[in-house]
Amino acid sequence: MERPERSNTLALRTIAWVAMALGRPAARLLLYPICLYFLAFSSRARTASSQYLSRALGRKPGVADSLRHYHTFAAILLDRIFLLNNQFSRFDVRLHGDEIIDEAAAAGNGCVLLGAHIGSFEIIRSAGRGRGQKISMVMYEENARIVGAVFEAINPDLQMEIISLGRVDSILKVEAALARGEIVGMLADRTLKGGGTVSCHFLGQQARFPSGPIRIAATLKRPMVLMFGLYRGGNRYEIHFERFADLQEAAGRGRNAMIEQLLQRYASRLEHYCRLAPYNWFNFYDFWR
């Protein structure tokens, strides 16, 4: 939240124009000099990337590993341009566990999708739109105003699907969306100052995870489903859904213990997917600080 964005509106709009005017292959060529630039001049992020990759890969990462980590992030960000332009069909997307979402949508009570800063949440939202399922994302927008403004210009309807955290009516909007039977997505692997956290074992060491997303689901008594949209190279994505918890009965003295158990389970599943697709996790800071 405290770090300024490294890009600017003109650069991002130029890349977006290249993508839409010249196509995805031409735009992807721009990713290599961009990634090399950030690899050379973002020392803190490069150090954090190396620290994480050493845990996920089980070996000391080289420069090529860090470059691949940056490139995966950039490729997913670029693909978001095409997804926002309703070009979902250009991607080869494999769904796993999609019947879980179909069941939740058929029940009409809404559910909470719990994800992470791994892979693409836009591919998950696009897949949902194609199946007639609206997915609203709950997130902080303050630390990515420039990127957010560029994407909003691509598709103004995007803002209709984001519930911004940190506002007086944030939780009321979440409750209203769930009451309409909609699906609400949250990313639960990034802590903020002043927020409640739980220490969990993650990739070989204790790390703090925010308790807020699970507390919200427990308060609103909604079932939770894990979501992970992994980028597999080229135009290929894999979307994984897993049943996680039904919090309709979550109450009483055991709630805190239950939340701690669920967060550790969440951290364990996130670790599984980090090892499955190690270059897909995008927390470029010291997560184990």
DSSP H helices in 110-251: 121-130, 145-154, 170-179, 212-220
Report residue 37 as tokens: 């630039």
What tokens appear for 7 in the block? 């890009």
What integer pLDDT is reported at residue 150 of this predicted model?
65
Residue 120 near residue 235 (C-beta atoms within 8 A) = no
Contact of 280 with 231, CB cutoff 8 Å: yes
Q: Which CATH architecture has domain 9-280?
A: 3-Layer(aba) Sandwich (3.40)
pLDDT at 151: 64
Q: Amino acid identity, residue 267?
A: A
Listed by start position, the domains of the chain span: 9-280
Ranges of the chain whose pLDDT falls below 70: 1-8, 141-153, 158-160, 193-194, 248-253
